A = this chain, B = another copy of it.
């Protein structure tokens, strides 16, 4: 992740939560009291959030000391100590909720991604994300997908061409749409086409696109369609796939399965903090 961008995001999140001041803590605590906050896993999952904890507390107060006992992508067990931050207790109290809000969500995504990877259980087919991320958090959520063992689809509308039904119908055909794009497109951008029929797959192959997406196809349909696609073209299955039917795609031979739910319907992983004052 870009650390300048991360720092500026977290700063904005702290300002959202703290506003003019943490009234409770400011009225009760004197500045010099020291303490520590321990991050504890309350359930089993995949951790994601090293940089959040480090950058977060040090943004509030560079004197805060951080120890991390896990790495991004590590499996964690219920009850496991993940990290300790120590220093001025009023800083710790002001910062812990925002940091938790981020690492619980990121760990939730990493955990769900890992579960998808394990459910699919394929050494060939990879799991990837979509643009269905939480607005404002795309950099963090796509990072979390990677920590869970998934892969990133394009970051936004700017770094990959995705020709969908409306583009095709405006252009007249896949071939024409691809031609229009190629006339102007630089050589570092890949072209993907969404296909819904066998004819479209054939047309896409002939157009020589980089990636062919099978939209809302069953595993059996994909197995049949994929025979039409030469090896050097990447294939992707998308639409209508959830943890229940994901396993059935194990052997259909597609390179990537993109799953919107990884980032739009994850549950925050239960992580808690225990704050304590130094004696």
Within 8 A of B (CB), among A209-254: 211, 232, 234, 236
**A185 to B150 CA separation, bound complex (whole angstroms):** 10
Q: How far is the CA of A108 from the CA of B264 in the complex (A)?
A: 10
The interface residues of chain B lying within 8 Å CB-to-CB of A180 are 27-28
Of listed A102, A160, A163, residue having the most chain B CB within 10 A? A160
Shortest CB-to-CB span from A41 to chain B, Å, is: 16
Q: Which residues of B contact A94 (CB under 8 A)?
A: 157
From 65 to 82 in chain A, residues with beta carbon under 8 angstroms from any chain B beta carbon are none
A153 at the interface (CB under 8 A from B): yes
Q: Once the chains bind, are A185 and B136 in contact (CB under 8 Å)? A: no
**CA distance in complex: A134, B135 (Å):** 10
Contact A188 B192 (CB under 8 A): yes
Shortest distance between the CB of A49 and any CB in chain B (Å): 12
When chains A and B are docked, how far (Å) is the Cα of A259 from the Cα of B157?
Answer: 26
Q: For the complex, what is the distance from the CA of A138 to the CA of B102, rounded to whole Å?
A: 13
Within 8 A of B (CB), among A17-41: 17-25, 27-29, 33, 35
In the complex, A202 has a CB within 8 A of chain B? no
A134/B105 in contact, CB under 8 A: yes
A155 touching B20, Cβ below 8 Å: yes
Q: Is A169 an interface residue (CB 8 A)?
A: yes
Q: Which of A128, A134, A158 has the most CB of B within 10 A?
A: A158
Q: Copies of this chain, how many?
A: 6
Chain B residue numbers with a CB within 8 Å of A35 are: 166
In the complex, the answer to whether A28 meets B170 with C-beta atoms within 8 Å is yes
Which of B21, B134, B170, B232 touches A2 (beta carbons < 8 Å)?
B21
Which chain B residues border A25 with CB–CB below 8 Å? 157, 167
Q: Which residues of B contact A21 (CB under 8 A)?
A: 1-2, 139, 157-158
**Residue pair B264, A265 in contact (C-beta under 8 Å):** no
Selected contact of A156 from candidates B18, B132, B146, CB within 8 Å: B18
Distance to closest chain B CB from A29 (angstroms): 6
A261 to B270, CA, bound (A): 10
Say yes or no: B232 contacts A232, CB within 8 Å: yes
Chain B, residue nearest A163 (CB): B24
A2-14: CB near B (< 8 Å → 1, else 0) gives 1111001111111
Per-residue CB contact flags for chain A residues 89-120 toward chain B (1 = under 8 Å, else 0) read: 10001100110111011001000000000000
List 3 A-B pairs, minimum CB-CB distance, nearest first. Answer: A19-B158, A13-B135, A159-B159
Q: List 11 A-B contacts (CB under 8 A).
A: A2-B15, A5-B15, A19-B158, A27-B161, A27-B183, A28-B163, A28-B167, A89-B170, A101-B134, A101-B135, A160-B188
